[in-house]
Structure 1
Amino acid sequence: MPLAAVLGVEADELAEALATGNPGGIRLESSAHAYQGTRSSVVIRAVRISGGRTIVAFDPELAGVGERTAALGRRESDRLQLLLSASVAFAKTRAEEELGELLSQTARRAFNATACSVHTGEPGNYTLVAGENLLEKEWPKDRHGEAVQLGSVVTIQSPAEADIVAPGLGLSGVFERAGVYGLIAVPIIEDGVLYGAFACYFDQPRKFDDQAVPLAEALAQLAGQVLVRLRLEARLRRAAMLDEVTGLPNRRLFDESLHQTERAHADQTAVLFVDLDGFKAINDTLGHAAGDTVLKEVAERLSHVFRQEDMIARYGGDEFIAALQVADTSDALELADRARAAIAEDFAGIPPELNITASVGIAISDGGVGDTSIDHLIRLADQAMYAAKRGGGDQAVVHRAER
């Protein structure tokens, strides 16, 4: 018979008494002693009740209460320490991919998972940025978006539970084919915006305790706050590298992008320097607002002339620059002539006598150009552009670089 029944008290009242002292006239009289039964250890306690009687009895239902309480305390302490460490580590990240990798590793450790994955992006376009998605091979790619669109933490403790938690998605079969027997999936939401999700996968059925969801939400909140900051910083950096008038990359972004891009192609690298002939007269006659309108239109026209993979920038004043891969010199000249023709077309609101043309300088080098050679190409293209202007403008001049 359970000790609580022997004493005539409620089981939870007895448990509290044994753990903490003397509520309701019951108090702990002596320390616990191990008693080895035939199959399991139990606890023997001497308890004095309010009538003065002392009863010595054992209760298998209470065996290990102290040990379980201590273990729970250790788990709580470990989780708190994990969150504190994650908060510091997440804050130090400088890129979204770095944050994703750290979140994946932290979540895997927090839940002792087989694997974890992190997906981030924009609504309708979430991609795997870190970790391993164990369901990826079995889960159709066109259904991944549905899995990320979470409003709250989802826990699945077995394949059979998958179809109950997410009816209509056929997840139980996906789980079984992928060898996944448990899952916790967590949305990354900040200020009501869904930035992505992370998920942990288990190769055995998993029972989550009542602290699993709060822990998962806390990790997602920490990651979400840092993710918002990283994206804001990226937008600010991007804004600092865009030309305010045309929206094209500015000189700084153009130079940095060229130096960071590997251009070891079989084709040749060409740099085209474009300078507007007669632009100063527009500013002097019609004002800088009209000049800015023309610059915007020139940027738009050049964007249509050059290909999507080509790099175009406003290099300063009325100068534009493009870096591209060409098959040969004639290919570069053809693009330069198309750019000149586009710029020479009439501009709305600009009198015909103020129409502008373009002088284009071209420098070409073979594939495998390094950072120094790129800088050299820019200088040569600049020199060729000035040669075109000295020749009367509205023409393209080629300066070929030696390797």
Structure 2
Amino acid sequence: MHSLMTLIEQSRDWASLERGRDLFTKVADVLQHTFGIEAGMFVYRKPLVHGVINAPVRVYEPWGLGYSETELTRFIDDGAWFSGENYFVSESWLPVEEAPPVWKQVWLDAGVQSVGAWKLVVRGSCVGAMVLGRRTVPDERDAEIMETCAIHISLVLEMLVTRRIAEHASCHDPLTDILNRRGFEQEFNRIQSQHEGHLILGMLDLNGFKDINDNLGHLAGDSILMDVAQTLRQKIGKQGIAARFGGDEFVFAMEMDSENIKAITKRVMDWFADKEYSVSVGCATLGQDGVDWISCLDVADQRLYERKSRGVVLE
């Protein structure tokens, strides 16, 4: 009971950790030094948070074993504790002889006599297992304590995932899943502190978007908005960021070698040349057209509407 109380006390700030790996590091330390668990690891697949599909199953934070995370992760492909969509969890201690064959030698090399795996659950789904080894034969009460530990770790994992989902939602547009205004401001501050070339900011909107919604329907309009977002995200890639500020108004920031605004504007518009819709674009250079992203976007917006007023789509 004292060990469980220590776990609970030390876990008070775990929900503020940034990553699941950080949590596993903390838990491994407690399991080793408070519960006296001689060997173990965490088998874990990151749950779907924002567009990450089929994240790989990996081993995290092994201790008391003569193998690295990478080496142990390779064993997963050969079966043992994870296969397809299922985790194999004993929820009890078993003699090492009953361990999956591919893992048996790993435990024997570590002098382990008993092994056990307890599931980790997030949002009602098993996302991994806490896999442990003891060099002595534990009693039944020990298995119950490990089950309680796994439940507690699952609750903390749930809080981490829930926080990440909330943070993602607060910074991303729900329709297109690119950044919203808040997310753009945060990410722009990051890239502004790291950029080495010219930082170009741009505004983009759809030509005749109201007519598209009126004539084709809002579902068609939403489909076009999602295509614009996907195109910007793919074309800009690691050069910068893209965001939707609302309606058909998109903004972007890119690090470029050139500061030729006319050429860069044409380049962006060329990305949409083969679409069934058309866009208007205006760009500005940070430091030349404005001292911050707000003033630059104001200049870019003016240039966009100047082009629109002249009926310029492509030059």
Is the TM-score greater than 0.5? yes
Count the aligned residue pairs.
296
1:380 alignment partner AA? C
Q: Which residue, out of 127, 131, 138, partners 1:195? A: 127
1:220 is displaced (CA, Å) by 0.5
Which consecutive aligned stretches of 4+ in structure 1 deviate over 6 angstroms post-superposition? none
Tell me, yes or no, if the aligned pair for 2:7 and 2:30 is still in contact at 8 Å.
no
Instruction: State how 1:83-122 maps to structure 2 within 5 Å.
Output: 84-85=8-9, 89=12, 92-93=15-16, 95-97=18-20, 98-114=22-38, 117-122=41-46
Aligned to 2:105: 172
Instruction: State how 1:122-271 maps to structure 2 within 5 Å.
Output: 122=46, 125-127=56-58, 132=63, 134-137=65-68, 139=71, 141-144=73-76, 146-149=79-82, 150-153=88-91, 155=93, 161=96, 164-169=97-102, 171-172=104-105, 176=109, 180-182=110-112, 184-190=115-121, 193-200=125-132, 205-260=135-190, 264-271=194-201
Instruction: Provide the alpha-carbon RMSD of the alignment.
Output: 4.0
SS of 1:216's partner is: helix
User: Is residue 360 from structure 1 mapped to residue 276 from structure 2 by the alignment?
Assistant: no
Task: Rate the CA distance shift 1:303–1:91 in 2: closer, same or farther, 3 A.
Answer: closer
Q: Which deviates more, 388-397 or 142-151? A: 388-397
1:234 alignment partner AA? R
1:186 alignment partner AA? A
Q: Give CA deviations for 1:124-163 in whole Å, capped at 9, x if unaligned.
A: 6234555757443393542146454232246577xxx4xx
Residues of 1 paired with 2:200 and 2:75: CA distance?
A: 43
TM-score (normalised: structure 1): 0.59
Q: Give CA deviations for 1:312-349 in whole Å, capped at 9, x if unaligned.
A: 2112232212233333335x8666434313435453xx
Tell me, yes or no, if the aligned pair for 1:358 and 1:393 is still in contact at 8 Å.
no
Provide the identity percentage. Answer: 20
Task: Rate the CA distance shift 1:92–1:305 in 2: closer, same or farther, 3 A.
Answer: closer
1:240 is displaced (CA, Å) by 3.6
1:295 is displaced (CA, Å) by 2.0
1:189 is displaced (CA, Å) by 3.1
When Rg is computed on C-alpha atoms for both structures, the one with the higher figure is 1
User: Is residue 279 from structure 1 mapped to residue 209 from structure 2 by the alignment?
Assistant: yes
Residues of 2 paired with 1:111 and 1:329: CA distance?
A: 61
1:210 is displaced (CA, Å) by 2.7
Task: Rate the CA distance shift 1:127–1:333 in 2: closer, same or farther, 3 A.
Answer: farther
SS of 1:152's partner is: coil
1:290 is displaced (CA, Å) by 4.8
Q: Which deviates more, 388-397 or 240-249? A: 388-397
Residues of 2 paired with 1:378 and 1:393: CA distance?
A: 26
1:376 is displaced (CA, Å) by 0.7
SS of 2:172's partner is: coil
Task: Rate the CA distance shift 1:393–1:206 in 2: closer, same or farther, 3 A.
Answer: farther
Task: Rate the CA distance shift 1:265–1:240 in 2: closer, same or farther, 3 A.
Answer: closer
Residues of 2 paired with 1:323 and 1:279: CA distance?
A: 23
Residues of 2 paired with 1:140 and 1:245: CA distance?
A: 39
User: Is residue 376 from structure 1 mapped to residue 299 from structure 2 by the alignment?
Assistant: no
Q: Which deviates more, 241-250 or 357-366? A: 357-366
Task: Rate the CA distance shift 1:261–1:304 in 2: closer, same or farther, 3 A.
Answer: closer
SS of 1:248's partner is: coil
SS of 1:270's partner is: strand
Aligned to 2:85: none
TM-score (normalised: structure 2): 0.73
Task: Rate the CA distance shift 1:237–1:394 in 2: closer, same or farther, 3 A.
Answer: farther
Residues of 2 paired with 1:269 and 1:240: CA distance?
A: 25
1:360 is displaced (CA, Å) by 2.3
Q: Which of 1 and 2 has higher RCO (CA within 8 Å, sep 6+)?
A: 2
Residues of 1 paired with 2:74 and 2:4: CA distance?
A: 38
Tell me, yes or no, if the aligned pair for 2:80 and 2:100 is still in contact at 8 Å.
no
Residues of 2 paired with 1:131 and 1:334: CA distance?
A: 53
1:313 alignment partner AA? A
Task: Rate the CA distance shift 1:341–1:224 in 2: closer, same or farther, 3 A.
Answer: same
Unpaired stretches in structure 1, ≥5 consecutive residues = 1-76, 348-354, 367-373, 398-403
1:78 alignment partner AA? H
